[in-house]
Structure 1
């Protein structure tokens, strides 16, 4: 199926081939993407339901670096409206990270299968990478952790990104703090992978001479009708083999005439 766009219907939307560089880059990026996705799955998986979130929140409040973890309890006790828990300290972010890691694995497997079958077109890559970039951008924003719930201790970012994990040592939570830092690191790596993939996909969608040449090569390398390809090969066999000067060229039509000549009744009577 071909879908052409433009005033003169010269822009091929589907199927539009990858450029040579883009095709190789997308193929080589998949193993590296899997190598980063495995730590993402592990870190997000062990972080659920609450490996370090509440501890880091409490340590930050003890050192006047973020809001109070007991704000919800105080609101219940004083019959006040429930405050909005910052995204970084909420279970919503933890569950969200687990969900996007599983979604990433699903898309990676689907992309690998489609790439092997030569059905992973750039237009699909654009939509997939844009969606994943949006998801991971939300995750990065949540993990960086702006916390303005307590006006006394506003925080533009989580304290362990601003001051390191030194404060967590005396609480015995140094490893948990490092996991929290590593969580943001692998998330940023995944975001970079999707941005690079999106760049190659957009370049392949952009009208350029290299893309047209790549598509023409793909079209010329595969014959649409196998019957025509075998027929042309058969007809040219006699031309490639050496023949004498008096020999009659042999073609499928020659064989048909010989068969017809043997079946004529007048020929058999004479």
Structure 2
């Protein structure tokens, strides 16, 4: 019984639609995160939010170090999230190209899709969490939710030259959330396709039945009277006659020339007297001669005098001398 399906359902079009949604988002994230790397506007937006009183100041870490106080950069303003976003965008582009080709070649089953998109969901969940994290390092200006460029309009900036950077940061967060949603749909669609439907179960059962019947024909013998398959077929092993006497080329040659069905040496060791070796005649046809060969004219004339019709290329076969095979030795070593 198959517990996991290897085919997508209901058809291939949902996967192509999801790929069509993922492709522009991947390109957009790759461009936005690449532009923001390594630190194009992160510190500037951080400082502008501090000027407006929305969050802490980038100089908070310097005051903490001067006063020997522990300080940790907020996750939303850290260098880690900028580099992390670039890495996952490049990885997403690679996975998109590979899985599209594998799906076209029918080597991207739903089970593998579940694993791949579960990994992508975890990666993008971390990215969304870092981009929307809070900043409470400054007790006077705590930020207890997402940063100001997400929750507020970009027009509130004190430095109007940062409006474009604010919009880019806002678009990056929106595209990251949209990509996470696409991957969740991927995951749900693949997980649903892992469980076969009734029609797929019937097709699997029929395929297994046909495969079993094919191997049964090779493993059993059909009774001609009843039509049932019983036992295993005996292989036609050359050289075995009656499953008793092994027939080798030497034995077959002795039997053919001597006219016996047993080995010649068996009578020697079982009978008190030696058997006479059988004699036989070996003949070979004479090669055809051409009219230009010596003796051809004389032979044709003799055939005409004897009343025979001459046949060009044929000559009478002379009797071959008898060949004698000596008997086996009288004594033998066991």
Residue 215 of structure 1 deviates from its aligned partner by: 6.3
Q: Counterparts in 2 of 1:98-117, with a 5 A limit? A: 98-117=86-105
Residue 139 of structure 1 deviates from its aligned partner by: 0.8
Q: Counterparts in 2 of 1:1-270, with a 5 A limit? A: 10-13=1-4, 16-21=6-11, 23-81=12-70, 83-155=71-143, 156-168=145-157, 170-209=159-198, 211-212=200-201
CA deviations over 1:229-262 (Å, ceiling 9, x no partner): xxxxxxxxxxxxxxxxxxxxxxxxxxxxxxxxxx
Larger radius of gyration, structure 1 or 2?
2
State the TM-score, normalizing by the size of structure 2. Answer: 0.58
CA deviations over 1:182-205 (Å, ceiling 9, x no partner): 001111111111011111101011
Residue 20 of structure 1 deviates from its aligned partner by: 2.2
Q: Is the Cα–Cα contact under 8 Å of residues 136 and 187 in structure 1 kept in the other structure?
A: yes
Paired residue secondary structure (1:172): helix
Distance 1:109 1:131 in 2: 16
Residue 153 of structure 1 deviates from its aligned partner by: 1.8
Pair 214,131 (structure 1): closer, same or farther in 2 beyond 3 Å: farther
Aligned counterpart, 2:314: none
Pair 59,20 (structure 1): closer, same or farther in 2 beyond 3 Å: same
How many residue pairs were aligned? 209
CA deviations over 1:67-124 (Å, ceiling 9, x no partner): 121122112222322x111111001000000000011011111101110110000011
Pair 143,214 (structure 1): closer, same or farther in 2 beyond 3 Å: farther
Q: Is the Cα–Cα contact under 8 Å of residues 97 and 139 in structure 1 kept in the other structure?
A: yes
Pair 18,210 (structure 1): closer, same or farther in 2 beyond 3 Å: farther
Q: Is the Cα–Cα contact under 8 Å of residues 2 and 204 in structure 2 kept in the other structure?
A: no
Residue 169 of structure 1 deviates from its aligned partner by: 5.7
Question: Any runs of at least 4 consecutive aligned residues in structure 1 with deviations exceeding 4 A, and if so which?
Answer: 213-217
Q: Is the Cα–Cα contact under 8 Å of residues 19 and 210 in structure 1 kept in the other structure?
A: no
Q: Is the Cα–Cα contact under 8 Å of residues 19 and 214 in structure 1 kept in the other structure?
A: no
Distance 1:16 1:44 in 2: 36
CA deviations over 1:124-157 (Å, ceiling 9, x no partner): 1001111101111111111123112222222111
Distance 2:34 2:203 in 1: 42
Residue 171 of structure 1 deviates from its aligned partner by: 3.9
Which structure is higher in helix share? 1
Higher relative contact order (CA 8 A, sep 6+): 1
State the TM-score, normalizing by the size of structure 1. Answer: 0.71
- Root-mean-square deviation (CA, aligned residues, Å) is 2.3
Paired residue secondary structure (2:157): helix
Q: Is the Cα–Cα contact under 8 Å of residues 33 and 193 in structure 1 kept in the other structure?
A: yes
Distance 1:199 1:42 in 2: 28
Q: Is the Cα–Cα contact under 8 Å of residues 2 and 201 in structure 2 kept in the other structure?
A: no
Paired residue secondary structure (2:55): coil
Residue 43 of structure 1 deviates from its aligned partner by: 0.1
Paired residue secondary structure (1:173): helix
Paired residue secondary structure (1:79): coil
